[in-house]
Structures are given as C-alpha cells and as structure tokens.
Amino acid sequence: MSKKTGGWENRLITYLSKCSTSPFRPGRMDCALFFAGAAKAMTGEDIARGLRGKYRTIEGGQKIIQERGFKDHVDYITSLYPARPSIMMAQRGDGVVITDMDGNEAIGVVQGEHVYVMGLSGLGTVPLIEAKRAFEV
C-alpha cells in the first residue's frame, strides 16, 4: 500500500468532521468502511473498492470478506498495512484494532492519545491505550 501523501492531515480532519454526523449503517458507514475512508483520505487508495453498498448487515459484510479469503474485516485490513511493534508507537492517522464491550473487534484511526471509531451509536473515541494492535498507514 502507498504511504500517506502530502496534505493528508487536512484531508483526514475534513473526513473525520464529515463522519461526525454520519450514522452507523452496515455497507455504507461501519467501522471497516469508516477506516477505509480515512485511509483513502490519507493515501488516495480505496481499499474498500467494490464493497460499499454490497451488504446491508454486518453478517453480509462478513460473508463477502470471507469469500475473498479473509477471516474477517480486521484480517483483511491488517493484511494491507505493516504492523507497528507496539501500540505506543502508533502515530496520528495509523489504524488500530480495538475490542468493543460485546467482544467484537473494530478498526479505528489514531488521533493523538485517542482513537476515532465508528460504532453503533456513530463516531466516537476511545483511549489509544485500549487498542490491541496498531498498523502503519
């Protein structure tokens, strides 16, 4: 995958601002597509090409990802980017894997000591220290 391109900070901020009012909608705006949009804002590459609008439930998205040979959305996304050796090395714009209260894994975007993540109630933040692993975008 390509690295972040010049001006990525402003594009990411614009994207996050737009997402702040977006509701959670599988196939349109879920955690995987939220992260994919952030990655596109930073790199110009659309890692979710062909996925948006192709499913309407989390289970439907899971099925598509499995048909492509991946265990789940986290497996797919983390296969595209190099892992950071530790969470504490995550930098602004990097991706991280977090676990929600129900034990489900989600992908978020690092912004300092916090992570933006799209959850069932919309865009929110969690402390970076709650992340399980990080990967460089």
Q: DSSP for 51-71?
A: TTTS-SSHHHHHHHHHHTT-S
The domain made up of 8-135 has a fold known as endopeptidase fold (from Nostoc punctiforme) (3.90.1720)
d(CA 47, CA 107): 13
pLDDT for 1 equals 60
Higher pLDDT, 102 or 117: 117
pLDDT for 102 equals 82
Tell me the one-letter amino acid at 131: A
pLDDT per position as a tens digit, 119-136: 999 999 999 999 999 999
Q: What is the CA radius of gyration of the chain?
A: 14
pLDDT per position as a tens digit, 27-82: 999 999 999 999 999 999 999 999 999 999 999 999 999 999 999 999 999 999 99
Provide the 10 A C-beta neighbour count for residue 132.
Answer: 11
pLDDT for 2 equals 63
Euclidean distance between the first and final Cα of the chain, in Å?
8
Confidence of residue 103 (pLDDT cuts 50, 70, 90): confident
- What are the sequence ranges of the domains in the chain? 8-135
pLDDT for 37 equals 98
